[in-house]
Amino acid sequence: MSTPLLSVEDLSVQFDTEDGVVRAVDGVSWSIEPGRALGIVGESGSGKTVGGLTLLGLTRSNNTTIAGRAMFGGEDLVAMQDEQLRQIRGKGIAMIFQDPLSSLHPFYRVGDQIVEAIQAHSEASDKAARARALELLGLVGIPDPRARLDAYPHEFSGGMRQRAMIAMALSNEPKVLIADEPTTALDVTVQAQILDLLDRLRRELGMALVIITHDLGVVAETADDVAVMYAGRIVEKAPVEELFARPMHPYTWGLLRSIPRLTGSREEPLLPIPGRPPSMISRPPGCAFADRCAYVADECRVAEPILSPAGTTIASACLLPETGRRSAWSGLAAGGDTDAAFKVLRGGK
Amino acid sequence: MSEPLLQVRDLVKHFPITRGVVFQKQIGAVQAVDGVSFDLMRGETLGLVGETGCGKSTTARMIARLMDPTSGEMLFEGQDLAALKGRSLKQARRDIQMVFQDPYSSLNPRKRVGSIIEEPLRIHGLLKEGDARRKRVQELMDRVGLNPEHYNRFPHEFSGGQRQRIGVARAIALEPKLLIADEPVSALDVSIQAQILNLLRDLQRDMGLTMMFIAHDLSVVRHMCDRVAVMYLGKIAELAPNEALYAEPQHPYTEALLAAVPSPEPGRRGQTSQGLAGWFLERQRHWPVVDQLNIHHRAKDSTLCPECFAEGFPEWLRNITWRGRTPAWPVALGCVAVERELAYGENFPLT
Amino acid sequence: MTRYIIRRILWTLILMVAVSVMTFVIFYVLPSADPAQLRAGRHASPQQIEEIRHKYHLDRPLLDQLWFYFQGIVTRGDFGISYVNDQPVAKLVFSRLPATISVAIGAAVLWLVSGIAIGIISAVRRHSRLDRTTMSLALVGISAPVYWLGLVALYLFANDIGLIPILGGSGSYRPITVDPLGWLNSMILPWIVLAIAFAAFYSRLLRGTLIEVMGEDYIRTARAKGLPERTVVMHHGVRAAITPIVTAFGLDLGALLGGAVLVEIVFNIPGIGRLAYDAILHSDLFLIQGTVLLAAFFVIVANLVVDVVYAYLDPRVRYE
């Protein structure tokens, strides 16, 4: 395995609000190598988007406290001066967002917006930048790119807009592309095309891809490694096959068991995770998932679990015994119910 | 098989496209729903799936009489909904209720939850004002899994999932015969979605509801529905019992849709996802002789030139003749005739 | 785009006709007194009144009157005669236009530049001391009546009665063609007074919209591209936030060109506003009618210009 391109260490982001301090991201670590794809999964409010924005300094403000390190090219993005970080944005690390319509400026032609991105980091002439923009639109699969260069965002379809966003993000050949819910606003057939495109670009350009999503299906199809976030923390991290085959965290179990599938029996009821995520302002001590966890033990409400290896490749933040969790999931995966799993996991205690 | 509760016949909704300097004249129409027919049996759940702009929500809105159809019949217990007025329309509205997509914007933020749920009872003059209604509202809240004590709270004090429960309570307050759920879970988080889906399923079973379930998510529809209608460009491409549709899709579009859904099982990557163009190219050899497909597009849109169509498209599509400035070409698509305003490629993904 | 503009122009013409008809109704049909007597002024003899009745076809059916009214306006630019001054209304109005244009344009430049600058700085440095100070002052500027500000300005700076007599005061207006320096000297106080009220409003408006725009997704995109903050603010933020300013500016300028009544009276400037004011005092009906039509004309044209500029600024408007 090569050395990490981007390595996030113990990143925390706190917002000062009128209601109190929101701990949006709370000690998150991950790293990514060139050409790999990392999926960050979580529900709304889990801190997955804030983390991505913070790497680019887009959450910096007087009300924000950012701690930890994010090493990129030997330098720490968190400690970096604004101007130096600006030069990395779009050049070293680029980002695309959920809603491609609102993410493109409504008053400027798509081509001009791409040209602007190119010229933000190079001395390219208007003509050269325009030629490059044309090439990029072709690269991301926009038909008749020459005509599309002079069109406005509202003249594009949803999928085409996201392609244009990707073209813009690629304009300075970034080493890392952070895609924040890139297909959530799109139709399923278009989503498939955009995911294919991202996958193709990652392979062809050797980019590292960080894909932030709530959709386990999207992660399964695009990521090499997955980090599951809950209430500002990573609760589980593993290679994608491992995570889906042998998850070790009850929250991941909950997610996997609550989604309807295209295969298997549809007579079984879905198993929702009861309750809802905790407040990010006043968090009770112990495991953040404790209140929603069917297997919660007394110590879960006292001690905070830390992300630690639970097998050769998987790391999990859970205080329950590892072997118990392993057998409990085997039971659940084989169609067993929560009670049986509870007995397996907690029966010994 | 039970008798139909609702029979929809040749339902059509056209939105006029107008142009004119001072006086507007109609130059065409967006055929949002273009001849849809189906039967909805008592007690069943019928799914309506499709992508943005396929006409699924428009169909639902016409059945709920939130929108008037251009033509066609909707026989609800033998009465044509489209023709109802006044008192009989009010009665029909009592029997047909809707749950909407966005639990944030579909509840009046200035009203207390109790009053939101009570509103249908008030409008239809059911139960005596005061204790009787209050009791009924609290029963309903309990039924959908809300704390009846929270009667006096405002919508913003509830989470997204709870708000959707409020919407469901309001919809079942009148004990409707038909419940139309339009994308009821697509605005909710994954772990909350299952709560609402289970609630709807339980209610349907316990109350003997007939349900129309509209969604873009094929796995959700599969979980909820007895039969599924796949809509494409204003028409029903395929309507089949749930198991059959997912196991052996008959229509190529259904197949394309199913193939595009990302599956939470790693390892399928690269084999399954393909866009519509891929579907076009791969599928054309299986198609029967092409007979009719009309694609109109706006004259100003230079990017949909014949050349760019020609590049990615099969031979038979290239032989289309363009007529005038708004070309409408008859082409073929085997089993479906597709006729659709094509605005900026929106409804007809090209790549 | 061309299609859009043609359509707007046609609507403008229709609107102008409608406004003219409404003015006709107000001045010919609605008055309870004898229209001829009203037009003749206060001290007219019965013979004069008869003369006017005949001359302006007031003895003919209403539709004929409407026809003559339009014919006069369109073919001869004839808006009637001011009996107080015994001059054609059109001539009077045109002689007063330069003064009003001087006041309006000068003040407009001043308030636009200062309002936009203050708005941007306040929005970018939100909650800073500078922001709080300027916004409090702006509130004062919006609340203070223009005539009061004008009187205060005269009291402080006018070269006749002022504490620091450095600028031209009330009644010092000189046409620019006669005495450019005197013109400038007389205009500075009215410009500042008028600009304070508008600049205060504009800076608050721009600050509000800009703060909202800076929270938009496309601003995040612009930053994520690595653009310098200055470009993000000016090229992406202000560009989007400026549209309501354009609307307000067009309408304000249009209304002012129709007569900056208060300022013209306080500073005794012989402009359209002053003319209209005098006309009302003397019940000079034709003159009132003329100034009303002119004011309506400016507002309608300003609306047209705003619509066209808007379409140029926001490409989404070009498609109906």
pLDDT of B188 strictly over 70: yes
**Last residue within a domain, chosen from B260, B295, B320:** B260
Least confident of A156-165, B121-130, B310-319, C113-122: B310-319
Residues B245 and B296 in one domain: no
ipTM of the complex: 0.89
Q: How many domains does chain B have?
A: 2
- At residue A147, the 3 state secondary structure works out as helix
Question: In the structure, what pLDDT confidence band is assigned to residue B300 with cuts at 50, 70 and 90?
Answer: very low
Report d(CA C266, CA B265) in Å as an integer: 80
A6-17 sheet: strands from edge to edge: A20-32, A6-17, A64-72, A75-76
Residues A35 and A77 in one domain: yes
In the chain, the amino acid numbered A82 is: D
pLDDT of A28 strictly over 80: yes
**List of chains touching C (3+ CB pairs within 8 A):** A, B
Residues B30 and B114 in one domain: yes
Report d(CA A345, CA B182) in Å as an integer: 40
pLDDT of B27 strictly over 70: no
Residues B243 and B289 in one domain: no
CB A256 within 8 Å of CB A216: yes
Residues B190 and B323 in one domain: no
Place of tokens 């080493």: A175
Residues B149 and B243 in one domain: yes
Provide the token pair at A211.
């894909």
Report d(CA A116, CA C223) in Å as an integer: 12
User: How far, in Å, are A274, A292, A297, B299 from residue A319 at the CA level?
Assistant: 20, 15, 8, 65
Mean pLDDT of A182-186: 85
Provide the token pair at B276.
């519509």
Single pTM value for the model = 0.82
Residues A169 and A315 in one domain: no
pLDDT of residue B250: 80
Residues A87 and A200 in one domain: yes
Least confident of A203-217, B206-220, C66-80: C66-80
Residues B293 and B255 in one domain: no
Which run of H or of E encompasses C198?
helix C180-213
Report d(CA B115, CA B111) in Å as an integer: 6
| Helix A338-346 / helix A322-333 crossing angle, nearest 10 deg | 160
pLDDT of residue C319: 56
Residues A214 and A294 in one domain: no
Residues A40 and A133 in one domain: yes
A109 phi and psi angles, rounded to 5 deg: -65, 145
Question: Residue B186: which CATH number?
Answer: 3.40.50.300
Q: Would you say residue A209 lies in a domain? A: yes
B180 phi and psi angles, rounded to 5 deg: -105, 120
Q: Tens digits of per-residue pLDDT, A88-97?
A: 999 999 999 9
Q: How many domains does chain A have?
A: 2
Are C226 and A87 an interchain contact pair (Cβ–Cβ within 8 Å)? yes
Q: Indicate the average pLDDT of chain B.
A: 75
**Which residues form the domain of B186?**
4-260
Q: Tens digits of per-residue pLDDT, A115-159?
A: 999 999 999 999 999 999 999 998 888 878 888 899 999 888 788
Q: Tens digits of per-residue pLDDT, C90-116?
A: 899 889 999 999 999 999 999 999 999
User: How far, in Å, are B66, B109, B156, B271, C288 from residue B105 at the CA level?
Assistant: 17, 8, 11, 39, 51
Are B22 and C6 an interchain contact pair (Cβ–Cβ within 8 Å)? no
Task: State the DSSP code for C242.
Answer: T
Look at B299 and B107; give whichever has higher pLDDT.
B107
Provide the token pair at C282.
């003397």
Q: Would you say residue B350 lies in a domain? A: no
CB B283 within 8 Å of CB B313: no
Give the end-to-end CA distance of chain C in Å, rounded to a whole number: 10
**Which residues form the domain of A36?**
6-223
Question: Residue C195, class by beta-carbon neighbours within 10 Å (0-12 exposed, 13-18 middle, 19+ buried)?
Answer: buried
Residues B214 and B294 in one domain: no
Residues facing A230 on adjacent strands: A233
- At residue B17, the 3 state secondary structure works out as strand
Question: Residue A141: which CATH number?
Answer: 3.40.50.300
Provide the token pair at C257.
């060109």
Q: Tens digits of per-residue pLDDT, C2-51?
A: 778 888 889 888 998 898 888 888 877 776 667 777 776 667 788 888 88
Nearest Cα residue to C259 out of C239, C279, C229, C231: C279
Look at B190 and A2; give whichever has higher pLDDT.
B190
Question: In the structure, what pLDDT confidence band is assigned to residue B338 with cuts at 50, 70 and 90?
Answer: very low
pLDDT of residue A278: 85
Are C320 and B19 an interchain contact pair (Cβ–Cβ within 8 Å)? yes
Are A88 and C240 an interchain contact pair (Cβ–Cβ within 8 Å)? no
Which residues from B are below 8 Å from C1, CB to CB?
none
pLDDT of B297 strictly over 50: no
Residues A33 and A163 in one domain: yes
Which residues from C are below 8 Å from B19, CB to CB?
320
C→B contacts (Cβ < 8 Å), by residue, are: 3, 6-7, 10-11, 14, 320
CB A188 within 8 Å of CB A1: no
Report d(CA A96, CA A201) in Å as an integer: 14
Q: Tens digits of per-residue pLDDT, A263-292?
A: 777 777 788 888 888 888 888 889 999 999
pLDDT of residue B341: 28
Q: Does A244 touch chain B (CB under 8 A)?
A: yes
Provide the token pair at A80.
């970096």
Domain boundaries C90-318, corresponding CATH code: 1.10.3720.10
pLDDT of residue A175: 95
HSE-CB at B178 with a 13 A cutoff on CA atoms is 27
Report d(CA A266, CA A263) in Å as an integer: 8
Mean pLDDT of A70-77: 94
Report d(CA C33, CA A272) in Å as an integer: 81
Residues A43 and A138 in one domain: yes
Residues facing A239 on adjacent strands: A225
Residues A196 and A144 in one domain: yes
Q: Which of residues 239-258 of B touch A (CB under 8 A)?
A: 242, 246, 256-258
Q: Tens digits of per-residue pLDDT, C253-266?
A: 998 988 888 889 99
Look at C86 and A96; give whichever has higher pLDDT.
A96
Nearest Cα residue to A110 out of A74, A66, A69, A155: A155
CB A315 within 8 Å of CB A309: yes
* Portion of chain C with pLDDT greater than 90, in percent: 36
Mean pLDDT of B35-52: 91
